[in-house]
Amino acid sequence: MADFLTAILIGSLAQKFYADYQHLDWHELLTGLAATNLRLVETISSRTNDELYGHPWYGKWTKGRMIQFNTSSPYANARVRIRKWLKVVS
C-alpha cells in the first residue's frame, strides 16, 4: 500500500525532496517552510505587477506565472491526488 500511495501522491522530483529532508523533524520542517514563505512573499512584494506579469521571463511565461507554477500549483496538484487516494482507500 505504501508504494501505491507514493506512486500516486508524488513524482520523482518530490521523492528526491522527501529523501533529502526526511532526517528533519516536524518542527524543523515547519520552521523552514515559514522562512521560505516569508522570503517568497518579500521577493514578490518587492516587484511591480509589470515585472511579474508584464513580459515573458522564461520562454512565453511571465515571472509571476512561473512563481505560481513552482509554489501554489504543486499544492493544488497534491490536494487532487490525496482526494483520489482517499476515495480508493475508503
Q: Which of the residue ranges 7-16, 29-38, 39-48 would you say has the lowest mean pLDDT?
A: 7-16
Q: What average pLDDT does the segment 18-29 reach?
A: 93
**Is the model's pLDDT at 6 over the cut of 80?**
no
Q: What is the mean pLDDT of the chain?
A: 87
Domain chopping of the chain, boundaries: 2-89
Global pTM exceeds 0.75: no
Q: Which range in 4-8, 32-36, 69-73, 80-84 is most confidently predicted, on average pLDDT?
A: 32-36
CATH of the domain spanning 2-89, picked from 1.10.10.60, 3.30.9.10, 1.20.120.450, 1.10.357.10: 1.20.120.450
Distance of CA 10 to the CA centre of its chain: 11
